[in-house]
Amino acid sequence: MTKKREIDDVTGVETTGHEWDGIKELNKPLPRWWLLTFYASIIWSVGYWIVYPAWPLANDYTRGIWGYSQRATVAAEVKAGIDAQAAMRQKLDQTPLADVRKDPELLRFASAAGSASFQTNCAPCHGRGAQGFTGYPNLNDDDWIWGGTVEEIHKTLLHGIRTGDDQARAIQMPKFGVDKLLDDAKINDVAEYTMSLAGKASDATAAGRGAAVYKEQCALCHGDDGKGKIDQGAPNLTDAIWLYGGTKEQVVESIRTGRGGMMPAWGPRLDSTTLKSLAVYVHSLGGGK
């Protein structure tokens, strides 16, 4: 039943005849321009569905008659980028490792490529800034276990450390405690001596006894002076840089177990240009020799 239309006293506008508890609804239709825009946008969206990818289907989506795809655009951009780099990559392939740093442009390219690959492949173990963690060496300093020339770094990368690869860095410190090569008392003495090598306070009497054990058991790899030997992968014991920690307990643990950190071989996983740029990048971090 339609009620009679009436004019609202206050505004002078016609009401719709709807009333709730004395509140009456004014008859205010939507402006024409608004309605037209609204209908136009509906028509526009139908056109959009037809030409562009729009509706999800069970296993696919409507692709639109223009065949537009962001994935294809990205793929084309990536290919353009790779093409642009191809010349530099080729140059890097042909330049001997040691000569890369003589060419500033090539060095910049290799370091940037190496840095990107480092974040993906190496940062989980060595840290985003290559600062290292206990058991994972800092690659920024000039303290190298296996050698800090760009060629040595490259070799470490290619074959890894204690991986079983026949060219890997393989030397392993004896497990003096685990394999009962030394008893606890001798391990304690030689640990005290190791502490004294690093200039840390130690029990002088025990260290004196440890000196003899060191000469017999350790000097072969760590050197008579404790400064380490790169060809043995035996770290310098006289500096403040410790791979496994420099407290007495940590040193005893190193001697007891021989540690034996492992790093994967990257030769089988990465292409030769990437390996080269990684070596250049690590070498350029500051500690390269």
For ligand HEC, give the closer residue by CB, 89 or 222.
Answer: 222
Per-residue binding letters, 8-47, with ligand HEC (x by CB under 6 A): ----------------------------------------
Q: What is the largest CA-CA distance in the chain?
A: 117
Round to whole Å and give the CA distance between 277 and 286.
15
Of the pair 15, 250, the CB lying nearest ligand HEC is at 250
Q: How far is the CB of 77 from ligand HEC (least distance, A)?
A: 26
Contact status: 144 vs ligand HEC (CB under 6 A):
yes
Q: Using the rule CB under 6 A, is 222 a contact of ligand HEC? A: yes
Smallest separation, CB 160 to ligand HEC (Å)? 8
CA distance 116 to 123: 10
CA torsion sign for 140, 141, 146, 150 is: positive
Residue 28: partners with Cβ closer than 8 Å, 6 or more residues away:
13
* Least distance (Å) between residue 206 CB and ligand HEC: 13
Residues 223-262 that bind ligand HEC (CB under 6 A): 232-235, 237, 242-244, 251, 254-255, 259-262
CB of 92 within 8 A of CB of 279?
no
Q: What Cα–Cα distance (Å) separates residue 21 from each residue in 16, 27, 28? A: 15, 18, 20
From the list 229, 209, 233, the residue with the least C-alpha distance to 219 is 229
- Residue 55 in tokens: 């509706």
Phi then psi dihedrals of residue 24, to 5 deg:
-105, 145
Looking at residue 205, its amino acid is: T
> With binding defined as CB under 6 A, does residue 80 bind ligand HEC?
no
The one among 88, 145, 158, 265 contacting ligand HEC by CB under 6 A: 145
Query: What is the pattern of x (binds ligand HEC, CB under 6 A) and - over residues 111-140?
Result: -------x--xx-xxx--------xxx-x-
| d(C-alpha 77, C-alpha 115), whole Å | 21
User: Which residues contribute to the site for ligand HEC (CB under 6 A)?
Assistant: 118, 121-122, 124-126, 135-137, 139, 144-146, 153, 156-157, 161, 171, 173-174, 176, 190, 194, 217-218, 220-222, 232-235, 237, 242-244, 251, 254-255, 259-264, 266, 278, 282
